[in-house]
Amino acid sequence: MNTRWKPSVTVAAIIERGGRYLLVEEHTPEGLRLNNPAGHLDPGESPAQACAREALEETTHAFTPTALVGVYLSRFQREATGEDVTYVRFAFCGDLGEVVPGRTLDDGIVRTLWMTPDEVRASAARHRSPLVLRCVEDHLSGQRFALDLVHTDASVAQGGGA
């Protein structure tokens, strides 16, 4: 049988303010883990739209992507269940807005926290993925790409396919 490999597409918000990075602490099957505000691309969304939505859901703050930090490929294997998933992550930096009144943290998100780069590095054993630190390091190094590097065809919003 010919099975097509289909990686999961995710997005992450790399949010820095005053030398600290905004992370979320979340419940996972491996216990409480730290992550950048992140999640899956939903049908009909561009990666930048998905990132703004996920940041809002996980932090209660409005977020406007202004640049692409990078595109990452990572594999995750869960021994207990045999789950084996490859992720393609689009990481964006941008402008963090105010808390949106009436919003609550997404299910599974315990809290948000601001961490210095050294604190992010020191907590690597608690990261949900090695991409948490990699994205912060790339942001710290000044890595930025124009948003239009990722083109989303109008057919995506219309529910069409390529």
Overall domain count for the chain: 1
Q: Cβ atoms within 10 A of the Cβ of 49, count?
A: 17
Q: What is the DSSP letter of 105?
A: P
**Does residue 60 belong to any structural domain of this protein?**
yes
**Does residue 3 belong to any structural domain of this protein?**
no
Q: Taking the complete model, does pTM exceed 0.85, yes or no?
A: yes
**Does residue 59 belong to any structural domain of this protein?**
yes
Q: Work out whether strand 8-14 and strand 83-99 pair parallel, antiparallel, or are unpaired.
A: parallel
Rounded to an integer, what distance in angstroms lies between the CA atom of residue 87 and that of residue 126? 19
Single-letter code of the amino acid located at 126? R
**Does residue 52 belong to any structural domain of this protein?**
yes
**Tens digit of pLDDT at every position of the chain (162 positions):** 578 888 999 999 999 999 999 999 999 988 999 999 999 999 999 999 999 999 999 999 999 999 999 999 999 887 778 888 899 999 999 999 999 999 999 999 999 999 999 999 999 999 999 999 999 999 999 999 999 999 999 999 886 544
CATH number at residue 139: 3.90.79.10
Query: Cα separations (Å) of 35 from 1, 17, 44, 128, 133?
Result: 37, 17, 25, 6, 9
**Does residue 138 belong to any structural domain of this protein?**
yes
Rounded to an integer, what distance in angstroms lies between the CA atom of residue 16 and that of residue 4? 38
Rounded to an integer, what distance in angstroms lies between the CA atom of residue 28 and that of residue 114? 20
**Does residue 140 belong to any structural domain of this protein?**
yes
Q: Domain limits at 100? A: 8-154
